[in-house]
Amino acid sequence: MWILYCVHTNKGFSPLPSMESAGVLGTVLGCSAGLAVCGVVFAAYKLGLLYQLFHKAETKSPRHGGESVAEVLRAHGVKYVFTLVGGHISPILVACEKLGIRIVDTRHEATAVFAADAVARLSGTVGVAAVTAGPGLTNTVTAVKNAQMAESPLLLIGGAAGTLLQGRGALQDIDQMSLFKPLCKFCASIRTVREIVPTVREALAIAQSGTPGPVFIEFPIDTLYPYHVVSKEFAVKNPPKGLMGKIVSWYLNNHLMNLFAGAWETRDVSPLQVDIPQATDDQVQRCIELVSRAKKPVILLGSQATLPPTPVDDIRKALEDLGIPCFLGGMSRGMLGKDSPIHIRQNRRDALKEADLVLLAGTVCDFRLSYGRVLSRRSKIIAVNRDKTQLLKNSDMFWKPTIAIQGDAGSFLLRLSKGLKGHRCPEEWPQSLKAGDVTKENANRAKADERTEHHLNPLKVLHCVDELMAEDSIIVADGGDFVGSAAYIMKPRGPLRWLDPGAFGTLGVGGGFALGAKLCRPESEFTFILCSLPHSSRWLRW
């Protein structure tokens, strides 16, 4: 059937289109048809119709999403999951316990995250905490931020309202993703059961890669329970009649089928490769040349130096081979044992003014180093840090690195020691700094012996604790000024035997840290929790 078109031309009206106009019309119609097809395909993809053509839901299976989470955690060497039990996440806890992962229930969600943080620091694995939706998650915010600033690899598992109920006023339903995106390296919300295994694997790898930190996965409740339980919630008691009723019923049934489609197919649960930045050979060689020419070098070691993959005992040997005097901060306290001749504890500011070379191994020029103002402009400065922002913090104002390396501090120290094999720092330099140590510590001892009229002398308490402490003790430092004093007086007997909040300075970490530490090191005789309280100081034997 012919359709006549009136096409206006310079010569008047024609009952048939010109060839050019017909071509344009065909192109438009073709594009419209193509867009329509693409729209249909996209809708089918979003609804899971394409996936369901090849992967079916096993409606008779008693399995549930919590089992998938537990399998991945076990494959990654996770031994503990810290929690405050809630209905949203119960399947994960049940499945973990069946696979031999210990479930540790706490009295507050923040404590669960603090405990997971301690496990991450002491074990070299990812610490895991699981909490329920809404207020359960909001209770963890301070602890998660503390882990972020302390660079602890941590997986936070959170419950959530069902996939179809989010944003509709369900119990404990809030926008959890927006809350945790600023705090975590990676955030994901599970939408189908088949996504659980690859998402958890990716999250665990990201938590340990680059600069370690917390990651967050949200599990809607219908992704964790078995099909026969979830299907009851999808049943519509009084569906609308007619066409609308059929559409609603079809949509709900399709959503349920897509939720469980391919859920129990075999998937790889093994750990993904962790990406850790390393110094280049050229950077290491330049540092070797600088250190070999230095007469008064100093190393400032930060928490990053204790991170995997380099064993802390190997780092300790490398430092001893270099013979360079070291100031230890954060988790690196105890790296050189109790009485190492190259471990300098006092008069850091004076030493930095005199040093001709300073190596910042995972140490940041923030408030702890007066934003870099304590560094002498005459010194050569080598800075090594996994995080580029932390590596160059305040370098535009108060200090400037001679060599800045975005890489792992522990691995760098091993390569530096190997390249300087046979070379040692002039012995008179660490000896002179050690003599200053003795003078300052004698002065601190004299202050500790001063009597107070009403309260305990906190310096005396710290000296007494240090003298009574067993060799395998772990020191958990929780507080403000009291912790600062403890850092100068107490002497961890070995690597990874000191825990403090980190750069965030959070008060209240003690209980969770002690819990995690005791689980990681059950052979330790006791752990001390140091608390800073108004008008008094207390220590608790664990």
417 and 484 in a single domain? The answer is no
Over residues 421-444, the pLDDT tens digits come to 989 899 999 999 999 999 999 998
Residue 533: what are its φ and ψ, rounded to 5°?
-125, 155
Q: Tokens standing for 522?
A: 């059950």
- Give the integer Cα–Cα distance in Å for 137 and 173: 11
Calculate the CA 43 to chain-centre distance.
Answer: 36
The larger pLDDT score, comparing residue 404 to residue 24, is at 404
- Give the integer Cα–Cα distance in Å for 425 and 344: 14
pLDDT of 21 reads 59
Terminal-to-terminal C-alpha distance of the chain: 93
Closest Cα partner for 346 from 425, 263, 436, 262?
A: 436
pLDDT at 196 over 90: yes
Residue listed under structure tokens 């070291």: 326
412 and 296 in a single domain? The answer is yes
pLDDT of 171 reads 81
Q: For the residues 499-515, what does the mean pLDDT come to?
A: 91
Total count of domains within the chain: 3
Residue 427 belongs to some domain of the structure: yes
251 and 309 in a single domain? The answer is no
Residue 69 contacts residue 130 (beta carbons within 8 Å): no
187 and 331 in a single domain? The answer is no
Q: Please give the order of strands across the beta sheet that includes 527-533.
A: 498-499, 474-478, 527-533, 536-541
Residue 525 belongs to some domain of the structure: yes
pLDDT at 535 over 70: no
Residue 13 belongs to some domain of the structure: no
The pLDDT-based confidence of 530 (bands split at 50, 70, 90) is low
pLDDT at 260 over 50: yes
- Give the integer Cα–Cα distance in Å for 482 and 505: 12
128 and 240 in a single domain? The answer is yes
pLDDT of 219 reads 97
pLDDT at 14 over 50: no
Asked which of 41-50, 326-335, 344-353, 374-383 is least confident by mean pLDDT, the reply is 41-50
The larger pLDDT score, comparing residue 191 to residue 32, is at 191
- Give the integer Cα–Cα distance in Å for 425 and 322: 7
At a CB cut-off of 8 Å and minimum separation 6, what does 131 contact? 83, 84, 86, 89, 109, 112, 113, 137, 139, 140, 156, 157, 158, 159
134 and 163 in a single domain? The answer is yes
Q: For the residues 173-196, what does the mean pLDDT come to?
A: 95
195 and 228 in a single domain? The answer is yes
332 and 433 in a single domain? The answer is yes
Helix (H) or strand (E) holding 442: helix 428-448
Residue 66: what are its φ and ψ, rounded to 5°?
-60, -30
Last residue of a domain, one of 410, 437, 464: 437
Over residues 451-493, the pLDDT tens digits come to 888 888 888 988 998 998 888 899 998 877 778 888 888 999 9
Last residue of a domain, one of 415, 437, 459: 437
Helix (H) or strand (E) holding 244: helix 242-260
3-state secondary structure of 404: strand
Closest Cα partner for 428 from 376, 493, 354?
A: 354
CATH number of the domain residue 290 falls in: 3.40.50.1220
Q: For the residues 128-140, what does the mean pLDDT come to?
A: 96
342 and 414 in a single domain? The answer is yes
79 and 213 in a single domain? The answer is yes
DSSP 377: T
Calculate the CA 130 to chain-centre distance.
Answer: 14
Q: For the residues 280-286, what does the mean pLDDT come to?
A: 97
pLDDT of 30 reads 64
Would you tell me the crossing angle of helices 227-234 and 242-260 to the nearest 10 degrees? Answer: 160
Last residue of a domain, one of 412, 437, 462: 437
Residue 227 belongs to some domain of the structure: yes
Residue 56 belongs to some domain of the structure: no
Residue 95 contacts residue 228 (beta carbons within 8 Å): no
pLDDT at 5 over 80: no
- Give the integer Cα–Cα distance in Å for 528 and 519: 15
Q: For the residues 514-520, what does the mean pLDDT come to?
A: 94
Residue 10 belongs to some domain of the structure: no
pLDDT at 261 over 90: yes
Residue 106 contacts residue 84 (beta carbons within 8 Å): yes
211 and 112 in a single domain? The answer is yes
The pLDDT-based confidence of 33 (bands split at 50, 70, 90) is low
Amino acid letter, residue 59 = T
3-state secondary structure of 460: helix
Residue 23 belongs to some domain of the structure: no
Asked which of 339-348, 476-485, 533-542 is least confident by mean pLDDT, the reply is 533-542
Residue 9 belongs to some domain of the structure: no
pLDDT of 241 reads 78
CA distances from 7 to 3, 30, 31, 239 (A): 12, 20, 22, 52
Residue range of the domain that includes 357: 281-437
Residue 471 contacts residue 310 (beta carbons within 8 Å): no
Over residues 163-181, the pLDDT tens digits come to 888 888 888 888 999 999 9
Q: What sign does the dihedral 69-150-183-203 (CA atoms) show?
A: negative
pLDDT at 236 over 90: no
Over residues 65-108, the pLDDT tens digits come to 999 999 999 999 999 999 999 999 999 999 999 999 999 999 99
Q: Tokens standing for 84?
A: 């405050």
- Percent over 70 (pLDDT), the chain: 89
Over residues 48-66, the pLDDT tens digits come to 777 778 888 899 999 999 9
Q: What sign does the dihedral 113-119-124-128 (CA atoms) show?
A: negative
Asked which of 146-155, 243-252, 255-264, 522-531 is least confident by mean pLDDT, the reply is 522-531
CA distances from 52 to 126, 297, 326 (A): 34, 65, 61
At a CB cut-off of 8 Å and minimum separation 6, what does 534 contact? none
315 and 427 in a single domain? The answer is yes
At a CB cut-off of 8 Å and minimum separation 6, what does 44 contact? 50
pLDDT of 10 reads 44
CA distances from 344 to 303, 323, 349, 492 (A): 17, 12, 12, 14
Closest Cα partner for 189 from 212, 157, 230?
A: 157
- Percent over 90 (pLDDT), the chain: 68
Asked which of 11-25, 314-328, 354-368 is least confident by mean pLDDT, the reply is 11-25
CATH number of the domain residue 221 falls in: 3.40.50.970
Q: What is the mean pLDDT of the chain?
A: 88
